[in-house]
Amino acid sequence: MWKQNFMFRAQESKPLEQSENELFHDTEPALDSAGMHFEKFISVWVQGEGDDGAPTAYTNVYVRTATLDFKKRAGFLQPLQGRSHQIKQLLTPGQKAFLKNWLNKTSPQAWNAAEDHFRELFEVE
């Protein structure tokens, strides 16, 4: 299975260099938000067929919101959401455009092999 993660600051259209795993690997769950200075993120996981180097078809997208206090290294990861309406609501138009372009450029074959409902997730309304 092929998979790729993109971490966006909530309103930015370009993802961070770090993945969800890299950002949240050494963090503690925030048990109380008092005194915390959270930044909000959107984590996007794209899955497909193929190996880690080359997808042959894109099949699934999952998104979740996340918050992180960089100074205190504490945060929250919300559950993954995989329903179309949830994905469309969470992603900004800029994030959708970036993902569509990246997925199409990375593997036009996988983009063309993806089902219509997958490609429609990245249409800007």
DSSP E strands: which ranges in 14-106? 28-29, 39-50, 55-69, 74-77
Domain range annotation of the chain? 2-119
In sequence order, the β-bridge partners of residue 49 are: 57
Closest Cα to residue 15, out of 103, 114, 88, 89? Answer: 103
- Residue-wise pLDDT tens for the chain (125 aa)? 899 999 999 999 999 998 888 887 766 666 666 677 888 999 999 999 987 678 999 999 999 998 888 777 777 888 888 899 899 999 999 999 999 999 999 999 999 999 999 999 999 87
Residue 15 corresponds to which tokens in the numbers above? 């993802």
Half-sphere CA count of 25, side-chain side, radius 13 A: 5
Tell me, what's the pLDDT at 124? Answer: 84
Report how far Cα 59 is from the mean position of its chain's Cα atoms: 14
- What's residue 20's pLDDT? 87
